[in-house]
């Protein structure tokens, strides 16, 4: 049996203020491809747009080479416009996109809009969180011009006005991308703005530092965003570097059942249960 190359986790939630979810995601680990799409345009429109983006990559995912991905993104953009012309969804619908493609040694991130990708690098000092993407948004332009700083941007009333999205018919889209080489003990986080509207980079870094697996990190980030208000749909994926080296201790922690949520208390309860089982087996066999 072939060894699984990627460890990853994903989750989506409509949030606490909306009854529909315009976000979607796609995970294709066999083809080294993951994406998050955040639709807009209202009920029965935003979800149509994001689904068109997702399905543009789901179909024939294995046939997509890294040099073809930008062309496929433009094709997804045109597919949304075509759907509107055909009466599917609604005029004005669109979707952001952030997409990760990976090989055993390298990664590349593509994006349109304000869905983001972050690189988390664990180290002896805890770790470092680096934003890989640059928002296509009105507020980001204000930050770039020096009109406001990043702290002001986090709470700006126009923070959700984007300057680009797939399906925006008034101008051609510009697809940005960034590439890098995987290192040991790295994760990449893809997310919609429902996560970053609730949690700033410092809060996310603290959660990532305290998480020992992508699944634990996804669960904790989602829980924290909901606890902060969950005012928008929230979608995220975390993909672990194929070069990731796990220590023996951390591997053992993965097998520990989450009884109370407190690691050492769970360890003590598990050890007690194993001891009781051993005594019972000894008593039965004697």
Residue ranges, comma separated, of all CATH 3.60.40.10 domains in the chain are 8-246
| pTM of the predicted model as reported, rounded to 2 decimal places | 0.85
Measure CA 207 to chain center: 14
In this predicted structure, which of 89-98, 111-120, 196-205, 257-266 has the lowest mean pLDDT?
257-266
Higher pLDDT, 263 or 163: 163
| ∠ CA 112-232-148, rounded to 5° | 60
- The whole-number pLDDT of residue 17 equals 94
> At 131, phi and psi to the nearest 5?
-80, 125
Is domain 8-246 annotated with CATH 1.10.10.10? no
| Other beta carbons less than 10 A from residue 116's beta carbon | 24
Please tell me what DSSP assigns to residue 29.
G
Give the whole-angstrom CA distance, residue 110 versus residue 102.
12
Measure CA 89 to chain center: 25
User: pLDDT tier at 281 (50, 70, 90 boundaries)?
Assistant: confident
């Amino acid at each position: 049996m072939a060894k699984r190359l990627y460890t990853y986790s994903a989750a989506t939630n409509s949030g606490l203020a909306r009854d529909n979810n315009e976000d979607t995601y796609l995970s294709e680990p066999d083809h080294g491809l993951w994406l998050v799409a955040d639709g807009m345009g209202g009920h029965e429109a935003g979800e149509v747009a994001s689904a068109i983006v997702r399905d543009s990559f789901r179909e024939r995912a294995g046939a997509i080479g890294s040099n073809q991905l930008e062309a496929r993104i433009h094709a997804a953009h045109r597919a949304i416009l075509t759907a509107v012309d055909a009466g599917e969804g609604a005029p004005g619908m669109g979707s952001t996109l952030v997409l990760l493609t990976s090989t055993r040694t390298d990664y590349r991130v593509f994006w349109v809009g304000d869905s983001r990708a972050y690189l988390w690098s664990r180290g002896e000092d805890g770790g470092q969180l680096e934003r890989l993407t640059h928002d296509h948004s009105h507020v980001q332009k204000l930050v770039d011009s020096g009109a406001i700083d990043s702290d002001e941007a986090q709470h700006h009333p126009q923070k959700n006005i984007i300057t680009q999205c797939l399906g925006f018919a008034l101008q051609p889209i510009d697809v940005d991308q960034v590439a890098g080489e995987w290192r040991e003990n790295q994760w990449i986080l893809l997310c919609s703005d429902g996560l970053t509207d609730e949690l700033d980079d410092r809060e996310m870094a603290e959660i990532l530092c305290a998480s020992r697996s992508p699944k634990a990190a996804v669960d904790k980030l989602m829980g924290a965003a909901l606890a902060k208000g969950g005012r928008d749909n929230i979608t995220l994926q975390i993909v672990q570097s194929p070069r990731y080296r796990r220590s023996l201790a951390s591997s053992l922690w993965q097998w520990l059942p989450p009884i109370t949520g407190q690691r050492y208390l769970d360890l003590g309860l598990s050890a007690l249960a194993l001891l009781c089982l051993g005594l019972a087996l000894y008593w039965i066999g004697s």
